[in-house]
Structure 1
Amino acid sequence: MDGICTLANDKVYDQLVALLNSIEANQGADIPVCVYPYDDNTERIAAEINRRPQVQLYGDRESIERWDRFARQVWDAHPSARQTWAQRGYEPYHRVGTHRRYCAFDGPFDRFIYMDADALLLSPAVPIFRQLERSDWVVYDFQFKDPGHVYDLSSNKLGEVFSPDRIESEIFCSGFYATSKRIFEEQKREQLLHQLEAGEAEILYLMAPDQTVLNYMVMRSDLKVCNLARSLPADEKTGNSVTSAHFQEKDHLVYDGGKRLTYLHYIGVSSKIFARVCAGENLDFPYRETFLYYRYLHEPEKRPRFDSQPEPYKRPPNLFRRALNQFKSTFN
């Protein structure tokens, strides 16, 4: 059985509703969806999920605890991760809940697409699933342009583990990917842990913990990776991130040079911004109209109405802050 899954808690309630509605509108109401709990703060999303017969909240505690334990073991193998996080005031295991997306390897779907909750599905996912007939792992992003957010490029060991060619061609963003169940069984997990504990953990990038570990798992297992951003013809591929300012919104979809996006990832927009806008605060963020359409697809009467110009969600620095920044740049 094919399905779509995501990771959420009540902090991303508005994004989750928008994502589920976009899946229903652009893939169909029959495709099953599984939501993996980021933590135990799930009362509000559980109530929403209960209203949707095709959606389930994952509740296999044994699976959740197994992947929680795996994540802690990975980061225990790193020479400085926990000390660095402590110095920066983070929890002992930084953003450990993000690793729970790995529960999909135990989950209800034989093949699945994982999407971050701050994304919208804007085209049918059939081509993604079709590509899984030829590949172990399918992605569609341009993360290869920024390997420093996947691995620690200062690590001398990185080149011993992965060649520059592999890093350029295989790394991916962990916000959207497709693969199959049971691809990382116990024996494979133990092998990966052994390699990490033998010194390879130092190549991991500390500030995107689930992304770096997932890339390592896929690449170290020599899975066949297909990145549609690299393999599609130039006249077919599109971007997917709201950091791209040139997309066009039309009929509740988004286009890149006339080509319909497969998905739109609101990367860099805090969940607090979505919550504030849905609560009626007139803040602007990229492709806001598209998000609001899907967020209130089934309850348009609750959509906030704005009569004035929106304020930017990222405020420019005030005069004092600009002067201070200029002073620092001059004398540093």
Structure 2
Amino acid sequence: MDGICTLANDQVYEQVIALLNSIEAIYGQEMPVCIYPYDHNTAKIAAEIAHRPQVQIYDDRESIQRWDEFICKIWDAHPTAIEHWSKFGNDKYHRVGTHRRYGAFDGPFDRFVYMDADTLLMSPLTKIFHQLEYCDWVVYDFQYTDLSHVYNQSSAKLTEIFTPQQLQTEIFCSGFYASKKGVFDVQMQELLLEKLCQGEAEILYTMAPDQTILNYMVMRSGISNCNLALELPESEKTGCCVISEHFQAQDNILYDKGKRLTYLHYIGLSSKLFQRVCEGENIDFPYRDIFLYYRYLHEPDKRPKFTTKAKAYNASPSLATKVLKKLGLTGGGK
């Protein structure tokens, strides 16, 4: 069975409802969805999906605990991570809940597409699922142009473990990917953990914990993988990032120079921003109307009616630059 997965708690409630509605706009209730809980704070989401029979919250406690333990062992093996994180708060591990998306490798779907809660589906995923017939891992993004948010580039081990070609073409953003159940079984986890504990953990980038580990797992395991951003012809390729200002909306679908997007990623925008807008605060941000359309798809009467002049959401140039750099968005269709 094919399905779509996401990771959420009530802090991203507005965004996850928009995502679920965008999936329904494409598939109706035909496409099953599994929400992996970031933590126990999911009461609002649980109440909302009670009338969505195709949506479930993952509740395999054994699986969740096994992945939690796997992740903690990895970071325990890292030479500086825990000391580094101690400067930012009291939690021993940084954003450990983000790794719970890895439960998708245990089920319930034989094949799945994972989408971050701050994404919207714009097209059927036929092309993505079709590619899984030929490989075990499919992505569609431009992260490969920037290694700095994936691995610790100052580690000498990095180029001992991976070839320059791998580091230029195989890295990816963890916000959208497709894979299969069982790709990372317990045996594979143990093999990867052994390598990490032997010193390879030092190549991991501590401030994007789920992304760096996922990249390591895919690249170190040697599973077959492909990035459609590299493999599709230019005539078919599109961007996906909210910072790309040239997308055009038609019937609440975005197009990149006439080509329909697969998904839109609101990367770099805080979940608090979406919450404030949904509470009626008139803050403008890129593709806000698209977000509001899907958020209130089933309850348009509750969509906020703004009566004041919009305040621009102005990400500082440094933030915009960082996000652009992170995704390798240098223009064109990216």
Please give the range of the TM-score, normalised by the shorter of the 2 chains.
Answer: over 0.9
Residues in 2 aligned to 1:90 and 1:128: alpha-carbon distance in whole angstroms: 40
CA 1:148–1:39: 2 relative to 1, 3 Å: same
Residues in 1 aligned to 2:180 and 2:220: alpha-carbon distance in whole angstroms: 17
The Cα of 1:228 is off from its aligned counterpart by 0.5
Residues in 2 aligned to 1:146 and 1:50: alpha-carbon distance in whole angstroms: 41
Residues in 2 aligned to 1:315 and 1:285: alpha-carbon distance in whole angstroms: 9
Residues 83-133 of structure 1: per-residue CA shift (max 9 Å, x gap)? 001023362100000000000011210000000000000000111100100
Percent identity for Structure 1 against Structure 2 = 66
Residues 155-182 of structure 1: per-residue CA shift (max 9 Å, x gap)? 1110001111101111110000000001
Q: Does the CA contact (< 8 Å) of 1:151 and 1:212 recur in 2?
A: yes
Give the letter aligned to residue 144 of structure 1. Answer: Y
Q: Does the CA contact (< 8 Å) of 1:248 and 1:254 recur in 2?
A: yes
Residues 115-156 of structure 1: per-residue CA shift (max 9 Å, x gap)? 000000000011110010011100000000111000011111
Residues in 2 aligned to 1:243 and 1:221: alpha-carbon distance in whole angstroms: 33
Residues in 2 aligned to 1:216 and 1:117: alpha-carbon distance in whole angstroms: 23
Give the letter aligned to residue 210 of structure 1. Answer: D
Q: What SS does structure 2 have at the residue aligned with 1:48? A: helix
Residues in 1 aligned to 2:171 and 2:34: alpha-carbon distance in whole angstroms: 25
2:126 is matched with 126
| 1:256 is aligned to 2:238 | no
Residues in 1 aligned to 2:136 and 2:252: alpha-carbon distance in whole angstroms: 32
Could you tell which deviates more after superposition, 86-95 or 155-164?
86-95
Residues in 2 aligned to 1:116 and 1:258: alpha-carbon distance in whole angstroms: 25
Q: RMSD in angstroms over aligned alpha carbons?
A: 1.1
Q: What SS does structure 2 have at the residue aligned with 1:236? A: coil
Q: Does the CA contact (< 8 Å) of 1:36 and 1:58 recur in 2?
A: yes
Q: Does the CA contact (< 8 Å) of 1:27 and 1:123 recur in 2?
A: no
After superposition, residues 218-233 of structure 1 pair within 5 angstroms as: 218-233=218-233
Q: Extract structure 1 runs of 4+ deviating beyond 6 A.
A: none
CA 1:258–1:28: 2 relative to 1, 3 Å: same
Q: Larger Cα Rg: Structure 1 or Structure 2?
A: 1
What 5-or-longer segments of structure 1 have no aligned partner?
A: 318-332
After superposition, residues 235-254 of structure 1 pair within 5 angstroms as: 235-254=235-254
Aligned residue pairs total 317
Q: What SS does structure 1 have at the residue aligned with 2:3? A: strand
Q: Does the CA contact (< 8 Å) of 1:284 and 1:311 recur in 2?
A: yes
Q: What SS does structure 1 have at the residue aligned with 2:148? A: helix
- Normalization by structure 2: what TM-score? 0.93
- Normalization by structure 1: what TM-score? 0.94
Residues in 2 aligned to 1:88 and 1:178: alpha-carbon distance in whole angstroms: 32
Q: Does the CA contact (< 8 Å) of 1:283 and 1:312 recur in 2?
A: yes
2:109 is matched with 109
After superposition, residues 78-93 of structure 1 pair within 5 angstroms as: 78-89=78-89, 91-93=91-93
| 1:143 is aligned to 2:143 | yes
2:303 is matched with 303
The Cα of 1:273 is off from its aligned counterpart by 0.3
